[in-house]
Amino acid sequence: MNDDRIVAQTVGRALSTRLAITSMGEKTFYVTTPIFYVNAKPHIGHAYPTLVADTLTRFYRQRGVDSYFLTGTDEHGINIERAAAARGVALTKHVDEIVDEFKTAFAPLGIEYDQWIRTTDPGHEAAVAKLWRILDERGHIYKSRYEGWYCPNCNEFKEVDEKTSDLVCPTHERPLERLAEESYFFRLSAFQEPLLDHYAKHPEFVQPDVRRNEVISFVAGGLKDLSISRVSVKWGIPVPGDPKHTIYVWFDALSNYITALGWGTDEHQKFARYWPALHLVGKDILRMHAVYWPAFLMGAGIELPRTVYAHGMLLRGGQKMGKSLGNAIDLGVLKRHFAPDLIRYFLLREVAFGQDGEMTYEALIDRSNSDLADGLGNLASRTLTMVRNYFDGHPPRLRNEEQSETEDVSSRIEEAKRRFDEEFVALNFSRGLEAAWAGIARVDKFITDNQPWKLAKDPARRAQLESVLATAYEALRHLVLLVAPALPATSREIWNQMELAGDPLTIDPNKAVWGEPIEVSKIDRISPAFPKLDKGKIMAEIENENAAPVSEGVEAEDGGGKQAGNESAGLQAGMPALPEVPALPGPPATQIITIDDFAKVELRAATVLEAEKVPKADKLLRLIVDLGEPQPRQILAGIAQHYAPEEIIGRKIIVVANLAPRKLRGLESNGMLLAASVGEDGKPVLATFTEDVPNGARLK
Ligand code: MSP
């Protein structure tokens, strides 16, 4: 297909101005997650948008909408190059291994994507080059020179004031890198007005509103042209016609949303069928999705995504979970102790989508016990147990002459269904589930009020008993269908225990009619769908695991959890043992550290102002050193046998400045000086500079 036809095909499709983020009236539904960097182990923060996308896809599919769910991995760029180098592994081997690890980590959560795109897929690479050529031909790209600062972890060029900034990335708290090289630029500045116009005409384009306002004010503040190539990065897609340049990793990555559907190739049927998308993204990467991406698409004449929805961050101890802080909840620990549906339910119910939310193991256990074990699980097991005990396992069916109370239950269930759908379409998952649980509570109350266990003792009240259990069973049938997209495994489990025919995930709850004839067999196999969790026991197990030695191949994001072992005792009762996440092979930790590990060590230049021997300590010198800080520091150094105090006063030295303070002989040492250990007796030789360096200068 030639470029003109692609443009005509995509531009020709009318843009709509719907307020609903996703709409039931549509024939197709296309949802994407961000594609994940393969520079670290997957954690729950990555699984979060992916399981939301999975739930939404199941929701639309259950309602008959032709749906497509894309996820994948972002495999090019300097941070990946460095991660592979740090492991001493070839790049292709490194990316393949981490991709496998992501896939293996997501599978136990019941995540079933339609496609896993990799930016190293040859088809993707060719289509990205095509998008570049279209933009170039249309005059949106020019060559110039970039000079400035770059964060290799954000893969972002940073605007900083060199006089006042500490030249550290505020997100990653790691040093920025100076770049000065020839670069291609995208004329982003030319898209300021068209973007503002699009935001105004399509309020649903960036959501939630608070994020939309942020984006509008960012763009209204003025846009600078964007550097979209790097000569110093080799691991990426070469710029067409100028292969010494590599395409900027965000240009490459964002394109995945259309290249995955075959855009730019002869196989573009999926693009025609599913585009435009709903992009689910973390609020930290909103600007790339809501400003750069639509500008690239506008430039190429391609229809814009329907919505970019920015969700909040999962927090631990009030801070974003992730690699930078090393505080992320490990998927291995979750997998060992909690059923996948519980993790899904927790994230959808406890965290309001769009807002930040704290995640703790304790809260997970509490939610499980209150909403799942006592709520849905209890309703299912008591209803089914009574059907088995009082009706020999054959659920009674509703008759026409049911009383008003039954009618009230059915209308509450219909109300729950209506609200659930309304909230899910607006991506308010928590409120949608709340509506379903209001339905569960209504049925529970109905059972408790009618006391079927008493009715069962009186043969004269058999008809009433039938009516009560028929109502409870029918309500349960509708509720299980309703919650199935969020709880796929347990909904199927309860459905099977109810001995109903078919798969609840393929039956539209809105087409299920109250009291309709159904195909059902004899109930006899009942087991709790959500066993009660013992908080004390699970927390103790998790703490023990965290105390055990860690063996991780790739950078561990959670300082804790050991790799999954086969500890079936720690698994939830009734849950199948899950496959293990393989530990990636890597060099021993003593030989190789990552660049991020190194960046944690703050090495600074200093001058020794004072030096004296510490009384009664043969080896120690007490130094007062100037690190360029308001106050000089005291440092104790074990060099007294090799350096006389007067010999080192005035010397320029290198100090580890962020070492935790330590007391030696009652004196506090606030840092450590660097020295090489030479010869058989390990004589220390102080590290220094051969050129003049100001005190406080950082070594990187
Ligand atoms: N590769 C880019 C995305 C390119 S999309 C064209 C990237 N990758 S990432 O692996 O660093 O992050 C992927 C997603 O995970 C981001 O949306 C980010 O917000 C999300 N999360 C990472 N940690 C998170 C939490 N603690 N909580 C919620 N989401 C988090 O950025």
- Give the number of domains in the chain: 2
Among 489, 511, 533, the domain boundary falls at 511
User: Are residue 638 and residue 586 in the same domain, yes or no?
Assistant: yes
Q: What is the pLDDT of residue 162?
A: 76
User: Are residue 694 and residue 552 in the same domain, yes or no?
Assistant: yes
Enumerate the H helices of 207-311 as residue ranges: 209-220, 249-254, 256-259, 269-274, 286-287, 293-300
Rounded distance between C-alpha atoms, residue 132 and residue 141, angstroms: 8
Rounded distance between C-alpha atoms, residue 166 and residue 164, angstroms: 7
Question: What 8-state DSSP symbol labels residue 39?
Answer: T
User: Are residue 566 and residue 624 in the same domain, yes or no?
Assistant: yes
> 369 C-alpha to center of ligand 1: Å?
30
In a domain, 78, yes or no: no
Query: In the annotation, is 663 catalytic?
Result: no
Q: Is the CB of 253 under 6 A from ligand 1?
A: yes
In a domain, 524, yes or no: no
Q: Which residues pair with 43 in a beta bridge?
A: 330
User: Are residue 560 and residue 495 in the same domain, yes or no?
Assistant: no
In a domain, 591, yes or no: yes
Rounded distance between C-alpha atoms, residue 110 and residue 53, angstroms: 12
Which structure tokens are listed for 47? Answer: 């699984």
Q: Which residues pair with 266 in a beta bridge?
A: none
- Give residues with Cβ within 8 angstroms of 104, minimum separation 6: 579, 581, 582
User: Are residue 502 and residue 559 in the same domain, yes or no?
Assistant: no
In the block, tokens 């973390």 appear at 282
Q: Is the CB of 523 under 6 A from ligand 1?
A: no
User: Are residue 497 and residue 565 in the same domain, yes or no?
Assistant: no
**Axis-axis angle for helices 340-350, 488-497 (nearest 10):** 120
User: Are residue 572 and residue 654 in the same domain, yes or no?
Assistant: yes
> 292 C-alpha to center of ligand 1: Å?
17
Domain of 602, in residue numbers: 548-699
Q: Which residues pair with 177 in a beta bridge?
A: 150
Q: What is the pLDDT of residue 679?
A: 66
Q: What is the pLDDT of residue 397?
A: 92
| Spans of the chain below 50 pLDDT | 1-19, 549-590
Question: SS3 string of 549-587?
Answer: CCCCCCCCCECCCCCCCCCHHHCCCCCCCCCCCCCCCCC
Q: Is the CB of 557 under 6 A from ligand 1?
A: no
In the block, tokens 């067999």 appear at 521
Q: What is the pLDDT of residue 6?
A: 35
Rounded distance between C-alpha atoms, residue 647 and residue 661, angstroms: 25
Where residue 575 sits, what CATH number does that domain have? 2.40.50.140
Where residue 437 sits, what CATH number does that domain have? 1.10.730.10
User: Are residue 503 and residue 635 in the same domain, yes or no?
Assistant: no
In a domain, 562, yes or no: yes
Residue 698 near residue 175, CB atoms below 8 Å: yes
Q: Is the CB of 235 under 6 A from ligand 1?
A: no
> 96 C-alpha to center of ligand 1: Å?
19
| SS3 category, 543 | helix
Q: What is the pLDDT of residue 586?
A: 32
- Give residues with Cβ within 8 angstroms of 679, minimum separation 6: none
User: Are residue 653 and residue 557 in the same domain, yes or no?
Assistant: yes
Looking at 172, 270, 279, 311, which residue is catalytic?
Answer: 172
Query: In the annotation, is 169 catalytic?
Result: yes
Nearest atom (ligand 1) to Cα of 284: 19
Looking at 124, 154, 289, 642, which residue is catalytic?
Answer: 154
In a domain, 217, yes or no: no
In a domain, 557, yes or no: yes
Sign of CA dihedral 326, 331, 334, 336: negative
Q: What is the pLDDT of residue 669?
A: 87
User: Are residue 394 and residue 446 in the same domain, yes or no?
Assistant: yes
Q: Is the CB of 468 under 6 A from ligand 1?
A: no
- Name the residue at shortest CA distance from atom 5 of ligand 1: 34
Looking at 76, 94, 130, 169, which residue is catalytic?
Answer: 169
Q: What is the pLDDT of residue 135?
A: 98
Query: In the annotation, is 619 catalytic?
Result: no
Looking at 41, 46, 245, 417, which residue is catalytic?
Answer: 46
Q: Which of 258, 254, 255, 494 is nearest to 380 (CA)?
A: 494
Nearest atom (ligand 1) to Cα of 293: 6
Among 458, 493, 511, the domain boundary falls at 511
Looking at 76, 124, 151, 245, which residue is catalytic?
Answer: 151
Query: In the annotation, is 151 catalytic?
Result: yes
> 54 C-alpha to center of ligand 1: Å?
16
Q: What is the pLDDT of residue 426?
A: 95
Q: What is the pLDDT of residue 570?
A: 26
In a domain, 259, yes or no: no
- Name the residue at shortest CA distance from atom 23 of ligand 1: 45
Nearest atom (ligand 1) to Cα of 314: 27
In a domain, 386, yes or no: yes
Q: What is the pLDDT of residue 191?
A: 98
User: Are residue 394 and residue 489 in the same domain, yes or no?
Assistant: yes
User: Are residue 381 and residue 494 in the same domain, yes or no?
Assistant: yes
Query: In the annotation, is 202 catalytic?
Result: no
